[in-house]
Amino acid sequence: MSRWSRVSPIPPPGRLRTLSLATLANTVGSGLWLTGGALYLTRDVGLSPAAVGAGLTLAGLVGLTASVPLGALADRRDPRTLRALVQLGQGFAAAAYLLVDSFPVFLTVAILEMLLASGNLAVRAALVAAVAGPQGRVHAFATLRAVANLGIAVGAGLAGLALAADSHLAYQVLVAGNALTYLLSAALLLRLPAYPPAGGGKVSGGPRRPGAALRDVRFLAVSGASAVLALHWTVLALVVPLWTVTRAGAPPPVVSAVLLTNTVLTVLLAVRLARGADDATRAARSMRRAGLVLATAMLLYASTAGLPPAASVAVLLAATVVYTFGDLWHGTAGAGLAYDLAPPDAIGAYQGVDGMLAGLARALGPALLTLLVLGGGVPGWLAVGAVFSGVGLATPALTRWALANRRPARPVTGDRPAAPV
């Protein structure tokens, strides 16, 4: 085995590698857009930052409504073909940003993009389950997460070239490049075989009613707990950078070092830390560990207030290392719970509900956490840490409650065959 193969997140040849390459292509575009999209809309199109922020927030909330319907559709149709079609739609939506010349046009394009993006996450989860099977889907999820971080990092680096040029042509190339990555990803997905729908066979207990996932209170409780912990994404992406330069007394370049530390560790450790989250009971224990580790990271971030600059930088980086372990345990535990608590014939719909709740947390997180932490200081950090630890400790009990109500499903015909990955 080569030295590169030991550290590369790209898996050996097989179906999971094909899915990983599709993810890599897609997330290079994501890195392009995440890094340069806001500047394109403000500096090249001429929208105000407030208009961009308001439009993206509204579009994000509207987009959540597509998660469950498209996830449910993936249970009744071939998820490979459905995801390829969704990504083609995302490519056209991304290219439509070239036509934006006013706020109404921007809002229309942003809503279309967010509807497709939200639905794509649920369809992707159904496809991962089909490709990897029950025993390999959490491992596959972790692999794709590592690959996604690598792709976003590459895309962000490429976007830096456009931002350095800061010209109309450079921004146009950035937008077009993002659109093309969706088309490349869709082409790679079509190299996978077609998969029969998960809901194509009969399951004991009769056909599942539309919207059943939204009425499963016990699943909602577990998924809601995971969504609360998902607030930590906002902590790293928004709160820590602002805290670093305003309260911790560290120079602005440290923000890049913090984010780079998280990215590198995610690429290197995501697959290794995914072990032990294949079933709901073990995933719940991993979620408890994640909550406690994330709470510890919050305490470390809080301790940087008032430290000398050198000490502050060291603690910020140490806190980010601790945070990343909690982040990775939460990600794989959340995937394991959402997969294992879902009926086999409704994985897409249940993943859609899980993604919708996580998306809601991401939508509400910026306003909530900036007010709590940047407005409240150290007590705000302590409050966030207490919430994370409390949710983590409560997850095993919530999971036992959900498992007690789970009816065993007996597949009769039409189930997806286990696929080599």
Q: Is the pLDDT of residue 183 over 90?
A: yes
Q: What one-character-per-residue DSSP string does 274-307 give?
A: GTT-SSHHHHHHHHHHHHHHHHHHHHHHHTTTT-
Over the stretch 232-245, which tens digit does the pLDDT of each residue have?
999 999 999 999 98
Token match 């095993």: residue? 396
Q: Tell me the pTM.
A: 0.89
The predicted pLDDT at position 280 comes to 95
List the domains of the chain with CATH numbers.
Answer: 15-190 (1.20.1250.20), 215-406 (1.20.1250.20)
What value does the mean pLDDT take over residues 57-71? Answer: 93
| CA distances to 15, 79, 211, 232 from 73, in Å | 22, 8, 12, 30
Q: What is the mean pLDDT of residues 49-75?
A: 92
- Per residue in 267-316, pLDDT (tens digit) is 999 999 998 888 999 999 999 999 999 999 999 999 999 899 999 999 99
Q: Which residue bears the tokens 């050198």?
A: 310
pLDDT at 408: 54
pLDDT above 70 covers what percent of the chain?
Answer: 91
pLDDT at 205 over 50: no
Whether the pLDDT of residue 414 is over 70: the answer is: no
Mean pLDDT across the stretch 45-60? Answer: 90
pLDDT digits (tens, 9 = 90+) for 145-179: 999 999 999 999 999 888 889 899 999 999 999 99
pLDDT at 186 over 80: yes
pLDDT band at 409 (very low <50, low <70, confident <90, very high): very low
- The token duo for 64 is 């959540």
Q: Are 223 and 338 in contact (CB under 8 A)?
A: yes
The helix (H) or strand (E) run that includes residue 59 is helix 49-63
Spatial distance between the Cα atoms of 285 and 280, rounded to a whole number of angstroms: 9
Instruction: Please report which confidence band the pLDDT of residue 81 belongs to, taking 50, 70 and 90 as the band edges.
Output: very high
CA 246/CA 243 separation, integer angstroms? 5
